Amino acid sequence: MEVSILDLKKQYHDLKDEIDSEISKVLESGYFILGKEEKKFEAKIKDYLDTDNDCIGVASGSDALLLSLMAIDISPGDEVITTPFTFFATAGAISRLGAKPVFVDIGDDYNIDVDKISEKINENTKAIITVDLFGNPSDLKRLRKICDDNDLYLIDDACQAIGSEIDGKKIGNFAHFTCFSFFPTKNLGAYGDGGLVVVEGDEMSEKIRMLRKHGSKKKYHHEFVGINSRLDEMQAAILNVKLDYLDEWIDKRQKNAKIYSDNLKEIINVPKIDDNKKHVFHQYTISVDDRDGLKEYLSDNGIQTAVYYPVPLHLQNCFDNDVSLSNSEYASSHVLSLPIHENLNINEIHYVIDKIKEFYD
């Protein structure tokens, strides 16, 4: 049996009529940047997130992070605390502005260990970027309190976590800035790049709306130096269709995850979820001995898996490698993500479970 880690073609074919018709409407309109589809998406996602914060479409999740840091004037000499166990973009955005990423180790849910943050705060610290890794929210309430107590900004890299919740409230309502990505493989994916920043407060929201248009409010008049970063009409139209299905897909991912965990928890480390959190399972990630052996065994049996992430950021050549963060290093050599997408069927899930059991028998 072949079990793939993604099935974007099937998802497209299920929605083909709706998507094709919306794309052709955009083409016929002759209007491609910051038009009515993008406006509609911003309103629709604001409603979905049930937030008073402003929702601003941008070109990617990476830009959402960069724009958030630009809005709070991060510059050389500044420090931003973050996790090393994430996709590169989280820390890359900090470095691009000449500031220093200060890495704090992760806890057993793979997110930043909140207890280890305070010792890293000094007079140069300006912000914390936390990541809701694999779709599981960080401890955003505790993080927000640390930020409020120390006059820091909280940026939530929620690029993998759209739809996730804490105490029944959606991510997007806890941080000063929440960043989402619509990269095609994300739970809500466009057919190209796309992103969103959810921004608290009128001042910052106006600033980001200007920053994404080269710092201008009035055309050809520039208040500061920004970048070009918009969610285009074609991607917005696609997302307007797909957003209606997101909760259904998350539901399916959660059901798949439960089957895995119920069947595997005795033999391997399954994802840990706090009772007050809704994990949307962008990835279903286990931690195992002989990870590379298991990966190869599953691959030989037709099962695709992936390692997120094989090298923690504090050990990347482009950063100072002056710290040792044991939990992140351990995770990098033990984690494995299994197929979890909404189009998996029950036979495929049980096939994966059987092969894992067989390997550890």
Ligand X SMILES: *Cc1c(COP(=O)(O)O)cnc(C)c1O
Give contact residues for ligand X (rule: CB under 6 A): 60-62, 86-87, 89-90, 131, 157, 159-160, 181, 183, 193, 195
Give me the least distance between CB of 61 and ligand X, in Å please.
3
Q: How far is 232 from 352, CA to CA, in rounded Å? A: 39
Give me the least distance between CB of 52 and ligand X, in Å please.
24
How remote is the C-alpha of 267 from its chain's centroid? 29
Give me the least distance between CB of 59 and ligand X, in Å please.
8
Classify residue 73 as left (phi > 0), alpha (psi -120 to 50) or beta. Answer: left
Strand ordering across the sheet containing 153-157? 54-58, 195-199, 177-181, 153-157, 125-131, 79-82, 100-103
Nearer to ligand X, 131 or 303 (CB): 131
The two structure tokens encoding residue 150:
């120390």
The two structure tokens encoding residue 264:
């595997």
| β-strand pairing of 125-131 with 153-157 | parallel
Helix (H/G/I), strand (E/B), else coil: 240: helix
Give me the least distance between CB of 87 and ligand X, in Å please.
4
Q: How far is 136 from 257, CA to CA, in rounded Å? A: 13
Structure-token match 């955009």, residue found? 26
Give 102's strand partners: 81
How many Cβ atoms sit within 10 Å of the Cβ of residue 81?
A: 26
Give me the least distance between CB of 202 and ligand X, in Å please.
26
Nearer to ligand X, 3 or 179 (CB): 179
Structure-token match 């399954």, residue found? 270
Give me the least distance between CB of 3 and ligand X, in Å please.
22
How remote is the C-alpha of 252 from its chain's centroid? 19
Nearer to ligand X, 64 or 102 (CB): 64
Give me the least distance between CB of 361 and ligand X, in Å please.
34
Nearer to ligand X, 179 or 298 (CB): 179
Give me the least distance between CB of 193 and ligand X, in Å please.
6
- What is the number of the residue whose Cβ is closest to ligand X? 61
Nearer to ligand X, 62 or 136 (CB): 62
Nearer to ligand X, 193 or 342 (CB): 193
Q: How far is 250 from 200, CA to CA, in rounded Å? A: 26
Nearer to ligand X, 257 or 356 (CB): 257
Nearer to ligand X, 158 or 257 (CB): 158
Q: How far is 182 from 167, CA to CA, in rounded Å? A: 25
